[in-house]
Amino acid sequence: MNSIQNKVVFITGGGHGIGLSLGKVFAGHGARVVLADIDAQRLSTAKALLAESGLAVETIVCDVADAGSVKKAADFTIERFGKVHIVINNAGVSLAGKPGAIPLEDWRWIVDINLMGVVYGVEVFVPLIMSHGEGGYIINTASMAGHIAGPSMSPYHATKYAVVGYSESIRQDLQANNIGVSVLCPAWVRTDIHNAGINKPSLAQHSKARREAFEPGVSGFAEVIENGIAPDALAQWVYECMLAERFYIFSHPSMTKHIKTRAELIETDYAAIVEDGRFSAH
């Protein structure tokens, strides 16, 4: 894709953080943008904020964990603009906790949003992109947490590794249809992601203050997120990477060493079975 002028872009998690910044950058480069988010208040603040910079966007309340809601948001997009070219499956939440102590309802919550939300975005929108024959692009927001894993965030890592693998696969499927795919894998970005766990189902019966006090993700990641890169700067990089049709979109050069360490561990463990020789015919 060499220009996004007048292209129609649908962005989930568009009410705040990276999604909002992507909306700003893509609208700023001449695209017609729909921001979708579960939070109506965030959407109206986002719309007003962009209007201050002279950028008009459409907004739609959408829960990406609900395939029907994603379908309604797609219908809205087609109603407004007639077609859609670029879909950014970006909405996501975080969930901290140690194995054996994570309520299964919270596990399902994060899988439904971080993985199934991306899947619904692809399943609903790909036929719409194919229908006009002008080609298109899908950007799935995973994370650096989809390439390297630390402790106490296993549900987040599991969903983000899944989004990386899913994107690697659909990229090959969609090439023939002139639909490019990128997977966005940033490290720390200054947003509200560390607070998302306060909305997990196991805390639903508590007040907001109690939920904040209960959620380890809030205190554990606040500092790195608050010192992260600016979402507007990341969004501009994403735009440039999409035009360059770069599949992996990384943000933090300092993370290269962790990628190398993981690759070395895989190579070392692979070498063990090669040296052993018992399956050498395979």
Ligand X SMILES: NC(=O)c1ccc[n+]([C@@H]2O[C@H](COP(=O)([O-])OP(=O)(O)OC[C@H]3O[C@@H](n4cnc5c(N)ncnc54)[C@H](O)[C@@H]3O)[C@@H](O)[C@H]2O)c1
Q: What are the catalytic residues? A: 156
Write out the H or E segment, with its range, that includes residue 155: helix 154-174
CB 106, min distance to ligand X, A? 13
Q: Which residues bind to ligand X, rule: CB under 6 A?
A: 12-13, 15-19, 37-39, 42, 62-65, 90-93, 113, 141, 143, 186, 188-189, 191-193, 196, 225, 228
Q: Which is nearer to ligand X, 77 or 143 (CB)?
A: 143
Residues paired with residue 13 on neighbouring β-strands, in sequence order: none
List the alpha helices (DSSP H) in 2-146: 17-28, 40-52, 67-81, 104-110, 117-132
Write out the H or E segment, with its range, that includes residue 250: strand 248-250
CB 34, min distance to ligand X, A? 13
Cα distance between residue 5 and residue 30, in whole Å: 5
Q: Are 1 and 180 in contact (CB under 8 A)?
A: yes
Cα distance between residue 190 and residue 251, in whole Å: 13
Cα distance between residue 74 and residue 199, in whole Å: 25
Lookup: tokens for 100? 């054996």
Lookup: tokens for 25? 């950058």
Q: Which is nearer to ligand X, 51 or 273 (CB)?
A: 51
Q: Are 109 and 202 in contact (CB under 8 A)?
A: no
CB 273, min distance to ligand X, A? 33
CB 172, min distance to ligand X, A? 23
Q: Which is nearer to ligand X, 23 or 186 (CB)?
A: 186
Q: Which is nearer to ligand X, 82 or 150 (CB)?
A: 150
CB 281, min distance to ligand X, A? 42
Q: Which is nearer to ligand X, 158 or 189 (CB)?
A: 189
